Structure 1
Amino acid sequence: MEVSLVRIMRTSARIGILALLAVGSVAIGIQLGAYTFRQRDPLAGATAASEAGSGLGFSNLDELSWSQQPSPLQTMSDVLEMVESEYVEKVDADDKFAVGAARTMLYTLDDPRTRYWAPDQTALLEQQLDGKFVGIGAVLAVVKEKRDEVEQRRVCVIAPVPGGPCDAAGVRAGDYITGIDGRWVIAYDPRLDLNRMTLRTMPEREYREKIKDATKKLQDGISWPRALEQLTQPTGKPLELTIERKSAPAPITVKVTRNETQVAPVEFHTVAPGTGYLRITQFTASAPAQVTSALKTSGRPARVILDLRDNAGGPDLAGPKSVVSSAAAVLSALGFSGEFGKIARGSSRHPIASAAQSGSSSGTRPSVAVLINKGTANIAEVAAAYLQARAGAKLIGAPSQGDSSYQKLIKLSLGAMTLTAGSYFTVAGKAVPATGLSPDVPVATGGPRWEKDAAVNKALALLGRAQGGRS
């Protein structure tokens, strides 16, 4: 039987789906092939192949020509045709297969930050760009790191949202969420440890028991995509989180109530005569205008304490919600113009520049001190590095996150995808260091953001004005 493509490609959207499925199919095949090759019993693959070729009566499959090497697109066309005509139940192949293929394709890139977002998740992600957070109230990311020679994928709190549930529960930037309601958030396959360490020395019976235990741990756990979904659900019962913190000798357990949190991207106070405290929580579309208004209302202070703590940057969405454009416009509002960083992709370097605003000449640039912590990440680190290098600003606080990944948020006809599209470089032409920016003046920070804040007091002293007269 010759499989017809006419019915499959009846709309242009279908063609896109087939393309997704084609690449996804190849990726799955590679993964499955590698997995089969790694099995302990080398005869298992041969046995499976023998059974598959034993003639089970599926005539449609038998008629497909295996002597040729069809293109992946043709192969997936065949698969779709078979599913639509032969599967036991009616399948809405277009959406279901397209989403599955997209997820598989991006997963095989081995970059947990490059992923597909379903339509409902996309809506929540866009809301975050406007300062509205749901769930546990934190900027989360899945990071890859090697532990005991095993590469793991771990859910990391990049920054808790100020005033959100995580903030209230004492969760900190840099914490790892390793468990939800007693279920392990799967970071890796524990059977890999067993295979690497004991395969050749452990008695067969003991080995099988260990494999059984490791498999159960895996089955009882929760995958990191599912974990992220739970952590970002708008409402629901409180979650008990198991937290791993580098400074804590043992895991910490906290209970977090999921809720909606609206964050003001800009906060301004006059903390001393001629000195303003300016906090940028997020580089949103409205942040530049708010900064301009705050500085104008206060008479353009000669000294500014710029608080970038827990500013996690974020994916860059083309248009007015671009975090890169917002950061550039904020620097312009402060009186700084010109190139302040680069986006690198391969050997190419694309400058990130801010344009001078009217009334913001170099003569009116304020003296600046910048507050950073572990939650300062991404484009916020680029801005901090620029002010340190070009404006003589002192960095005060704790080392930043060390996140150089430039992410794009790309809307699709069904949902969206985040894609690692480059790396952030500082104005000095170097990538943001993985260990983060080191503060010029280390100060342990925490508690209130500006009142009685040790970092703010240190900044006041460095900027040459005594503390007092706060409003």
Structure 2
Amino acid sequence: MDYLSPNSDIAVPPGPKKSWTLPRILIALLLTVLVFGGGVAVGRGDLHLKGLSLSKTTTSQAAFDYNSVDQLYNLLKNNFDGSLDNEKLLDGIKTGLVNAADDPYTQYFNPEDAKLFNEELTGSFSGIGAELGTDANNNIVIVAPLSGYPAEAAGLKPKDIISAIDGETTSGIGVDRAVRKIRGDVGTQVKLTVLRGSQPAFELTITRAQITIPSVSYSVEGVIGYLKISQFTNDTLKLTKEAASDFKTKNIKGIILDLRSDPGGYLSGAVDISSLWLDKGKVVVAQKRGNQTLATEYAKGDASLKGLPTVVLINSGSASASEITAGALRDNGAATIVGEKSFGKGSIQQVQSLPGGGELKVTIARWFTPSGKNIDKQGITPDIEVLISDDDQKAGRDPQKDRATQILSAKIQ
């Protein structure tokens, strides 16, 4: 949202242009991970990069030999011993052209794929409930299984490599196509071949289910407020403000902001949430193309949570908008980060509608934290690293949250 995101987002605002920053991780749902924004999206939605728009042409006619493409088409049409589908040929040309950019987040969607892609953004669809992305070697990987859904129940873990789907290799197919292969009707099954560390490859057969993702949940534990944001969507600010109001009523003294396994969402959502802790005018995130700063997003001044000791929890499933939020709060001295290194999705994509119903998703910029860091493929390193072991998971222990509670308790005594 992607699309700050690895892959997952929801509720696309109206308008032909959409953008995001998504590792593209998708939530397999797969949820697609996105970050979008009202101003800039790190996911899906209108992206208004302060006057920036996609150029209609970036090279001269002479620099690209369109005649050779036409010649190739005519040679194929006149000599191929078989039938040809012009629509498929045209889609093939478009796909090949975009794939030649050699960027896993720059993709062409034909009308059918664009329809499926946009359906993922409604926040409710059928799949296995896992966010997908790519690693440094362009393997399809699990960014995060969503709590309570089939992927988690089957035992999928962050950084698991999906080497095949229903027996077909995932090499070179890209995240979007992998998501489409994993999605399907409720009650049907998909077989995944999984690589985990040095273990031999193994297979998991997972039954698809209806996936609906709540944006925000919270609780009050003594004098500490616990706020969980699962992704940054249209209702995230509203729900978070409701939580903040309840925190104030109950006189909480510290906050745990849980962004673990949050694949991202609207960039505007990351700015809105960060603004709850920051004075108006504080830098939240900057977008750059090369050495040129395209836009800078600032805190909006609704700092209802300012001054409350805060610990942000992250893990390898935290991406895009969640990374923007964590980085903004830490760089502005508003929070301590606890957990594991985050995913590392530091680019911004914009989606442009094409004639006939297709869409182009293209990487247009990188985003930077207030301190000037781009975390793409690097992730955010926590101030205090706390790992969760297999034994912790089996026993239902959460040492990361426990450590956050300890830190806050010491500060508010």
> What corresponds to 2:378 in structure 1?
435
Describe the shift of the 1:368–1:336 C-alpha distance in structure 2 as closer, same or farther (beyond 3 A).
farther
Q: Which amino acid aligns with 1:417?
A: L
Deviation of 1:128 (Å)? 3.7
Contact kept, 8 Å, 2:331 with 2:369, in 1: the verdict is no
> What corresponds to 2:369 in structure 1?
426
Deviation of 1:431 (Å)? 1.2
- Distance, in Å, in 2 between the alignment partners of 1:107 and 1:388 is 37
Alignment pair present for 1:305 and 2:274: no
TM-score normalised per structure 1: 0.64
- Distance, in Å, in 1 between the alignment partners of 2:216 and 2:321 is 16
Provide, for residues 73-132 of structure 1, a one-character-per-residue CA deviation record: whole Å limited to 9, x for no partner: 445556667888998888663x43442222111111111221112334333433444433
Alignment pair present for 1:157 and 2:157: no
Describe the shift of the 1:361–1:311 C-alpha distance in structure 2 as closer, same or farther (beyond 3 A).
closer
Alignment pair present for 1:174 and 2:162: no
- Distance, in Å, in 2 between the alignment partners of 1:124 and 1:340 is 32
> What corresponds to 2:291 in structure 1?
347
Q: Which amino acid aligns with 2:104?
A: P
> What corresponds to 1:192 in structure 2?
none
Q: Which amino acid aligns with 1:165?
A: P
Q: Choose the corresponding residue for 1:410, options 348, 352, 361.
A: 352
Q: Choose the corresponding residue for 2:225, options 238, 251, 276.
A: 276
Q: Choose the corresponding residue for 1:399, options 329, 337, 341.
A: 341
> What corresponds to 2:243 in structure 1?
294
Describe the shift of the 1:344–1:254 C-alpha distance in structure 2 as closer, same or farther (beyond 3 A).
same
> What corresponds to 2:97 in structure 1?
105
Runs of 5+ consecutive residues of structure 1 not aligned to the other structure: 1-68, 146-152, 188-221, 315-322
> What corresponds to 1:125 in structure 2?
117
Provide, for residues 39-79 of structure 1, a one-character-per-residue CA deviation record: whole Å limited to 9, x for no partner: xxxxxxxxxxxxxxxxxxxxxxxxxxxxxx99734455566
Describe the shift of the 1:177–1:465 C-alpha distance in structure 2 as closer, same or farther (beyond 3 A).
same
Describe the shift of the 1:71–1:443 C-alpha distance in structure 2 as closer, same or farther (beyond 3 A).
closer
Deviation of 1:268 (Å)? 0.8
Q: Choose the corresponding residue for 1:463, options 401, 408, 411.
A: 408
Contact kept, 8 Å, 2:154 with 2:204, in 1: the verdict is yes
> What corresponds to 1:256 in structure 2?
206
Contact kept, 8 Å, 2:104 with 2:175, in 1: the verdict is no
- Distance, in Å, in 2 between the alignment partners of 1:394 and 1:245 is 31
Task: Note the 1:331-346 alignment, pairs <5 A.
Answer: 331-337=274-280, 338-346=282-290
- Distance, in Å, in 1 between the alignment partners of 2:148 and 2:245 is 27
Count of equivalent residues: 342
Contact kept, 8 Å, 1:460 with 1:466, in 2: the verdict is no
> Which structure has the greater CA radius of gyration?
1
- Distance, in Å, in 2 between the alignment partners of 1:223 and 1:347 is 28
Provide, for residues 381-420 of structure 1, a one-character-per-residue CA deviation record: whole Å limited to 9, x for no partner: 1211221221342211111112222222333332322211
Deviation of 1:261 (Å)? 0.8
Deviation of 1:329 (Å)? 1.1
Describe the shift of the 1:435–1:77 C-alpha distance in structure 2 as closer, same or farther (beyond 3 A).
closer
Q: Choose the corresponding residue for 2:301, options 356, 379, 387.
A: 356
Deviation of 1:134 (Å)? 3.2
- Distance, in Å, in 1 between the alignment partners of 2:334 and 2:276 is 18
Deviation of 1:291 (Å)? 0.5
- Distance, in Å, in 2 between the alignment partners of 1:379 and 1:225 is 19
Contact kept, 8 Å, 2:228 with 2:259, in 1: the verdict is yes
TM-score normalised per structure 2: 0.73
Q: Which amino acid aligns with 2:203?
A: T
Deviation of 1:445 (Å)? 3.2
Describe the shift of the 1:131–1:466 C-alpha distance in structure 2 as closer, same or farther (beyond 3 A).
farther
Which structure: greater helix fraction?
1
- Distance, in Å, in 1 between the alignment partners of 2:372 and 2:77 is 54
Aligned sequence identity (%): 26
Contact kept, 8 Å, 1:276 with 1:305, in 2: the verdict is yes
Deviation of 1:307 (Å)? 0.5
SS at match of 2:159: coil
More deviation, 177-186/394-403? 177-186
